[in-house]
Amino acid sequence: MDPTWGKNRSLKTQMMFDAVKNSNKNFKDKTLICLGGGCGRNADALRSLGFSKVVNADINPKHLAIGERYYKEVEHIELDRDKPVDGYDYFFYEDIFDEAFNWHTLSNIAKWNAVSDHALSYYDYTIYKFNCKRLDQSYKQPEELGNKYIKKKFGEGNLQIMADFSQVEDLETESYRLSLIDFKINVPKITSHSYQAIGQTEHWVDNIPVGFKATLINHGLNKN
């Protein structure tokens, strides 16, 4: 389903608003552009933090048309977020709250850092360490070559997993703060469990977290 309509949007909006509000940056009379903003719910919520102008940017004209109808205090523009434009004091890359740990998102934030300041200087991800009989049994080949390939892919940091907590066993979590300025990341290889992933809560029931979306990093991460 289109994320504009799902994914517990009100909870995601509150998470986003609290993070920006608590960033200890001076937004008074500054301009802000929200990238990948859909219909502009988040952009509209951020107006109360003192910005002189908030712009909602999205590549889908249908989303923008909805925003122009419901969020009239926000300026709505069609924009490809892969191509940074200057002229704004701050930018906010909304997919950081939706795409778990995603290299494309982080790469785009780095590009936009050259023309503006991100509303957040860091982001708190969660590292999930777990065992999972379902993964063990689903990804098992009779040939050793296939098993080596699966092991390699599960460790490279390119595959995402989305699961309820009930679908994994022996789950342990820890917070990982990633700088959105230098993007230095160092997570060691997993040794205590079969699987390791970095991401964030993705599903709630009655406002209680029940699942996560994360990128598998069994071999760890050591990148800049």
As a three-state string, the secondary structure of 184-206 is CEEECCCCCCCEEEEEEEEEEEC
24 and 102 share one domain: yes
In a domain, 115, yes or no: yes
100 and 151 share one domain: no
- Which residue blocks in the chain are alpha helix, DSSP H? 9-21, 41-46, 61-70, 103-112, 133-138, 144-155
pLDDT (tens place) for every residue of the chain, 224 residues total:
445 555 577 888 898 999 999 998 999 999 999 999 999 999 999 999 999 999 999 999 999 999 999 999 999 999 999 999 999 999 999 999 888 888 899 999 999 999 999 999 999 999 999 999 999 999 999 999 999 999 999 998 889 999 999 999 999 999 999 999 999 999 999 999 999 999 999 889 988 999 999 999 999 998 86
In angstroms, the CA 214 to CA 135 distance is 14
Q: What is the CATH number of the domain that holds 33?
A: 3.40.50.150
Residue for token digits 């390939």? 149
φ, ψ of residue 191 in degrees (nearest 5): -130, -20
60 and 151 share one domain: no
Q: Please measure the distance between the N-terminal and C-terminal CA atoms of the chain and give it in whole angstroms.
A: 33
Cβ atoms 33, 127 nearer than 8 A:
no
Q: Which helix (H) or strand (E) holds 73?
A: none
Domain containing residue 146? 125-223
In a domain, 147, yes or no: yes
In a domain, 107, yes or no: yes
User: What residues pair up with 204 in beta bridges, in sequence order?
Assistant: 209
32 and 99 share one domain: yes
Token representation of residue 159: 């595959």
Indicate the residue among 69, 98, 120 that finishes a domain: 120
138 and 172 share one domain: yes
pTM (predicted TM-score): 0.90
pLDDT for the residue numbered 172: 98
Cβ atoms 218, 195 nearer than 8 A:
yes
Domain count, the chain: 2
73 and 161 share one domain: no
pLDDT for the residue numbered 193: 98
Indicate the residue among 102, 120, 138 that finishes a domain: 120
Q: Centre a 10 Å sphere on the Cβ of residue 223 and count the other Cβ atoms it contains.
A: 12
pLDDT for the residue numbered 100: 81
What letter would DSSP give residue 168? S
In a domain, 21, yes or no: yes
Angle at 176 between CA 175 and CA 182, to 5 degrees: 160
56 and 132 share one domain: no
Indicate the residue among 120, 142, 157 that finishes a domain: 120
In angstroms, the CA 72 to CA 193 distance is 50
14 and 104 share one domain: yes
